[in-house]
Amino acid sequence: MIGLAIDSRTFSAAILADGGDFVSRAECRAPHAGYREWLITIGELIAGLTGAPSQMPVVVAVPAIIQANRVSITPLTHLAGTDLRRDLQSVLSREVSLVGFGDALAAFHASSTKGSDPLIALWIDSSCHGGLAANGGLITGAHGAAANWAHLQLPAPVPHELDGRPCWCGRNGCLETFLSTTGLEEDYERVTGTKRTAAQIAEAAIASDIVAESVIQVFEDRLGRATASMINLIDPAKIILAGQTPLAERMCERVPRKWPGYVQVDRSHTHLSWCDRGHDALIGGAGLLGRANNRP
């Protein structure tokens, strides 16, 4: 099985052994040009993997909701209105299937989680995605959109948070507009009039920059409210953060302190943890889902 993860910045691919180990791995930057160049670059990336038989299928993790093996909702404008699966099968001459980032991340962690309690996986980057697992397996929901947390509204908003924040999905005030790296950067720019990346804001907070620290604290509080709502609804044993979450280890320590003010149940058995595997977790999860779907 070949696992592939694509986003607006990076394409990553690996051959996965039956046990999930990476046999060969390759990565490249996403081209700035359009859809055709994306397909060509992905073809070159897969061709560059060492020891990939021509019949080996490819499972692609995409920042999107996948319905009937088609991209349904995605922030990647290059993919809007395309038939990615069909076109990749044509370019690669291989069987291709698609999974969403959230589902891939949830499947990756569910495979090593004991017990039947629910697990929620949250991918936070320039866009946000979620997945849900229980009893060691993925729960996709009736429409393939289980745990699509990014396009819910921010819980318990204070007055200034009710101001319109346009989201790429066409609505206003989605959680993604607050809890993505883009949202963090825009919050900082609103306060200072200066543009900084999420990584630069995090570094400034570590260096005791008062404004950066304040923006990070607001992000923590909002993430606390969002995850508390998930606890109230699903009561998970684990919530996994991944992607480009700013100051992720600090978030895992501080965000649970926000929960008592918003949850209605004892939250002491829910654990928030950070996955630092990045695209490798998506590739691994995609491979697991591909194997599960191809079993007789």
Report domain extents, the chain: 2-103+279-294, 117-274
Cα-to-chain-centroid distance, residue 1 = 21
CA distance 134 to 106: 9
Place of tokens 């009039």: 193
In the predicted model, what is the mean pLDDT of residues 153-179? 90
pLDDT in tens, 43-65: 999 998 887 777 889 999 999 99
DSSP helix/strand/coil, 255: helix
Place of tokens 């804001």: 201
Question: Do 2-103+279-294 and 117-274 share a fold?
Answer: yes
Percent of residues in the chain assigned helix, strand, coil, to nearest 5: 40, 25, 35
**Residue 122: is its pLDDT beyond 50?**
yes
pLDDT in tens, 136-164: 889 998 888 899 999 999 999 988 888 88
pLDDT in tens, 182-237: 999 999 999 999 999 999 999 999 999 999 999 999 999 999 999 999 999 999 99
pLDDT of residue 296: 44
DSSP label at residue 154:
P
pLDDT of residue 294: 60
CATH class for the domain made up of 117-274: alpha beta
CATH superfamily of 2-103+279-294: ATPase, nucleotide binding domain (3.30.420.40)
pLDDT of residue 20: 79
